[in-house]
Structure 1
Amino acid sequence: MRVLFTVSSWSTHYSTMIAVGWAAQAMGHEVRVLCPASETTTVSNTGLIPVPVLDGVDIVTSNRLEYYREAAEGRWRYPWLPLHPLTGEPLRSLDEFDLAAYRRTVEPELAARAARGFDAAVEYARRWRPDVVLHDPTSLEGLLAARVIGVPALLCLWGPVGTHEPEHRRIVPTDISGSFTRHGVGEFSLDLITHVVDPCPTAVAPPVGGERVPLRYVPYNGCAPEPDWLHDAPGRPRVCIAWSTALSTMSGPNSYLLPELISSLDGLDLEVVVTATAADVAALGAVPAGIRVLERMPLRLLLPGCAAIVHHGGSGNTMTALVSGAPQLPITFTTETTVTAERLHAAGVGIHLQGDLADRQQVRDAVQTLVSDPGYRTRAGEVRDEIRLRPTPVDLVTNLEKLAGR
């Protein structure tokens, strides 16, 4: 069987799909990953074969545009303005970005680039003839290619936000290039999504359309040597701080809370472990005694021994924590991460704080509650145990074989 993946320009959007690719290859199937050129190295590092032919609006620009629309429509909840969608500079006034001019002059070129990516995906699918196609929610090229050549397509969610959320929470983009119509499959709509691979346990399962295909989430957070101290029993509860390395590029400098979070937990009877990029580690400078700072430590190694994790509500942190059974404190700055955090809170596995309202005392109180209240740990353990009973990536590939055989 030939399995084709298409992925977006943001690596956490396709992290769910990596283990499925491994399983397919281990079972003797051929796997290819259509991706933007920017993802070539990242895909290669996972052990899968990239085909860098996709193009279009990058995820950073797309998210900044959405945040600008939220502000223009009065839905932006923060006391500061969003970033300029194209330059990334903080706006002093919404008038500094001319949305009408963008739609006249910039969007047509981006639509043309997206069209070239859609065409490349269809052309590759016609030549390589995959038996099944999987794609992330923001990579609709896979859906179109599958429709054109008449094979099954499955959308793979990255976390607890689904395909059929209310309009203001939508993560599936529209087809600004008109490629679905141009290739003869009709105008794009969510009704074209017939199968959704959902890695979420029942407690945080999002709304989807079509058939929900369950999957056990297998974390992929990169690789690093395992430190000697990792399996030592900590004398105090171990708490992880994992902050997004790119949140500020989309949500602005006010969303960069790493130094404040470290300061908030300083002095508590906790073992605090921070994992960050090399640039963020260097920018931190000296940290309080007793704070352990690590460079890109994979969360799947670190979290099983943690009593709690503090993070920004991103899907990778959220899902890895759920798999590990660690209670969570998401502190959020975007609509998507807020939805995720609300579902974690409702499931009883975490406490949610809005990023613009969270102060030092609130963070300290929330972490101490997560660590001291056994209910959070118990509930997180129950959700972890449910995840372990879900179909594995091997089970999914077996189902793909049956789906392709029909």
Structure 2
Amino acid sequence: MRVVFSVSNWPGHWFSMVPLGWALQAAGHEVKVLCTPCQSEPITHAGLMPVPVLEAMDMTVRGRLHNYRKARAGTWAFTGLPPPPLTGQPLTSLDEFDMDTWSKENHDWAIGVTARSCDAAVDFARWWQPHLVLNDLMSLEGPLVGRALNIPALLHLWGPIGPQDDVPGAPPGASFVPMDPSNAFARHHAGQMGPEVYQHVIDPSPPTAHPPLDAHRIPIRHIPYNGPGALPPAPASYHGTKPRICVVWGTSVSGVYGPASFAVPRIIEALADLDVEVLLTLTGADRERITQSGPLPPGVRLLERTPLHLLLPACDAVIHHGGAGCTMTALAAGIPQLAIHAGSDQEVIADRLAGVRAAQSLPNAHADPHAIRTAVRRLLDDPVHRRTATQLRQEMTTLPTPAELLDTLTALAH
């Protein structure tokens, strides 16, 4: 069986699909991953075969444009201005970026990017003739290929968020379903793009916290994949009496939401008053911000790049930005979590888990050290969070593994 994955241009959107790709390959099926060129290296590192024919607007720029619109509409949550969409440098006034002019000047370019990407995906699929398509929630090309070639296209969720969820801060009814501005579906005689194209959805979230779906839900056990890396010296051999808190922060948050969204200093200050051990995992510019700000407090250990699933089983709680990768890895480890979210899918995921008492949810703009400290104390002191996290982990272990899902996928393909 030939299976094509279609993924958007951010690793966190497709990391949850990697173990299913491994299972397909191990069973002798062929897997190829349609992607943008910037995803070729991480896909190769994941042990899959990239086909870098897609195009897309940079995800950081796309996020900044959305935040700039929110600031103009008066719904920007932070006290300062959002980073300008193109440069990321601080603004002194919203007038420094002419959104209307930029949109007019780049309208044809943006439409062309989507059109070329969709056409390239269909062209490759017509040549390779896959039997099945799997795509993440941000991929327009996956369902298009399925409709254009009349083959099953399955949406693979990256966490407890789906196409029926509303986008926070957007007009009522706005969902995470990608739009089709170039009318690619019509051009390829594939009908129209909308929520109805998702007939089968692979959902790795635990049943207690799964998102609403109108489609046929296909559960799958989440096997954590957080990218390549090595186990640090003896974190799992820790036998102290203090609770251990892992703090992990997404590299995209500051780039999309600006320096004010970098909550790690606030988190460190909050935890300094608690008798806990802290594992701090940061990369890139975030790591430099912390190392250049002076020595860390006692009990805080800064780790090199380490896959999160290697750390969390030895922790009592985790604090993160609300990203699906962190959330699902914590769920698989069965530990409570504090999500300090800045918006979009992070907010939906954080609030969904907080609603079932597996997590605490804090808006980033309002998460001062006192609020963070209070939330962490609740995670550690109220046993309901630990019980719920354990329950959700047990639910996830009963779901079919990627290897056990292959018969279902084969039946759909035939």
Q: Fold-level match, TM-score > 0.5?
A: yes
Q: Is the 8 A contact 2:34 2:53 kept in 1?
A: yes
Q: Provide the residue aligned with 1:308 in structure 2.
A: 317
Are 1:194 and 2:203 matched, yes or no?
no
1:133 aligns to what?
A: 133
Q: Does 1:323 align with 2:332?
A: yes
How far, CA to CA, are the matches of 1:195 and 1:282 in structure 2? 43
Query: How far is 1:279 from its partner?
Result: 4.0
The aligned counterpart of 1:59 is 59
Answering whether residue 253 of structure 2 is matched by residue 247 of structure 1, we say: yes
Find the partner of 1:287 among 276, 296, 312: 296
Whether the 8 Å CA contact 1:162–1:208 is kept in 2: the answer is yes
Of 182, 185, 190, the residue aligned with 2:190 is 185
| Cα RMSD, aligned residues only | 1.6
2:118 is the counterpart of 1:109: no
Give the match for residue 237 of structure 1.
243
Partner of 2:80: 80
Shift of residue 125, structure 1, vs aligned partner? 0.3
- Which one of 257, 260, 278 corresponds to residue 266 of structure 2? 260
SS, match of residue 389 in structure 2 = helix
Deviation for aligned residue 1:132: 0.2
Give 3-state SS (helix, strand or coil) of 2:53's partner.
Answer: strand
SS in 2 for 1:231: coil
Following the alignment from structure 1 to structure 2, what is the Cα–Cα distance between the partners of residues 390 and 107? Answer: 44
Matched, 1:349 2:352: no
Distance 2:189 2:89 in 1: 40
Local SS of the residue matching 2:360: coil
Q: In the alignment, what sits opposite 1:46?
A: 46
Residues 166 and 176 in structure 2, CA contact (< 8 A), matched pair in contact too: no
What runs of 5+ residues in structure 1 fail to find an aligned partner? none
Greater Cα shift, 224-233 or 11-20: 224-233
Residue of structure 1 in register with 2:118 after alignment: 118
Residue number in structure 1 paired with 2:26 = 26
Matched, 1:273 2:279: yes
Which residue pairs with 2:395 in the alignment?
A: 386
- The one of 232, 236, 245 equivalent to 1:227 is 232
- Give the Cα separation in 2 of the matches to 1:393 and 1:72: 44
* Residue equivalent to 1:218: 223
The structural deviation recorded for 1:34 is: 0.7
Q: Show the counterpart of 2:177.
A: 172
Question: Aligned pairs, how many?
Answer: 405
Gaps of 5+ in 2: none
Aligned amino acid, residue 204 of structure 1: A
DSSP 3-state at the match of 1:352:
strand
Confirm or deny: 8 A CA contact 1:137 1:171 kept in the other structure. yes
User: How far apart, CA to CA, are the structure 2 residues paired with 1:231 and 1:122?
Assistant: 47
Deviates further, 362-371 or 114-123: 362-371
Identity %: 43
Distance 2:298 2:204 in 1: 38
- In the alignment, the residues of structure 1 paired with residue 319 and residue 378 of structure 2 have an alpha-carbon distance, to the nearest angstrom, of 13
Shift of 1:98: 2.8
Deviation string for 1:186-239 (max 9, x for gaps)?
332221221111111122211223211111111111233323422222321110
The answer to whether the Cα contact below 8 Å between 2:330 and 2:336 also exists between their aligned partners in 1 is yes
User: Partner letter of residue 250 of structure 2?
Assistant: S
Structure 1 consecutive aligned stretches of length 4 or more whose deviation exceeds 6 Å = none
1:372 aligns with 2:407: no
Which residue in 2 is equivalent to 1:332?
Answer: 341
For residues 64 and 194 of structure 1, the distance between their equivalents in structure 2, rounded to whole angstroms, comes to 32
Asked whether the equivalents of residues 248 and 320 of structure 2 are also in contact (C-alpha less than 8 Å), the reply is yes
**1:122 counterpart letter in structure 2:** V
Q: The residue matched to 1:53 in structure 2 has which SS?
A: coil
Which stretch shifts more, 16-25 or 226-235? 226-235
Map of 1:363 onto structure 2: 372
Q: Report deviation, 1:346.
A: 0.7
Counterpart Cα distance in 1 of 2:102 and 2:150: 36
Judge conservation of contact 1:278–1:296 (CA < 8 Å) in 2: no
SS across alignment from 1:70: helix
Tell me how far 1:291 sits from its aligned partner: 0.8
How do 1:81-100 and structure 2 match up within 5 A? 81-100=81-100
Paired AA for residue 76 in structure 2: W
Amino acid at match of 1:394: A
- The aligned amino acid for 2:156 is C
Native 8 Å contact 1:234 1:271 kept in 2:
no
Contact 2:231–2:310 (8 Å) recurs in 1? yes
- Which residue does the alignment assign to 1:149? 149
- Note the C-alpha offset of 1:278: 4.7
CA distance in 2, matches of 1:214, 1:107: 39
Q: How many Å separate the matches in 1 of 2:253 and 2:177? A: 20
Q: 1:20 is paired with a residue of what secondary structure?
A: helix
Q: Deviations over 1:15-74 (max 9, x none)?
A: 111011000001110000010000010000000000100002222222222222333334
Moved more, 326-335 or 28-37: 326-335
Give the 3 Å change call, closer, same or farther, for CA 193–50 of structure 1 in structure 2. Answer: same
Q: Hey, what's the Cα distance between the residues in 1 that align with 2:2 and 2:82? A: 43
Residues 133-184 of structure 1: CA distance to partner in whole angstroms, max 9, x if unpaired? Answer: 0011111111111211110001111112210123536222211222111112
TM-score, with length taken from structure 2: 0.94
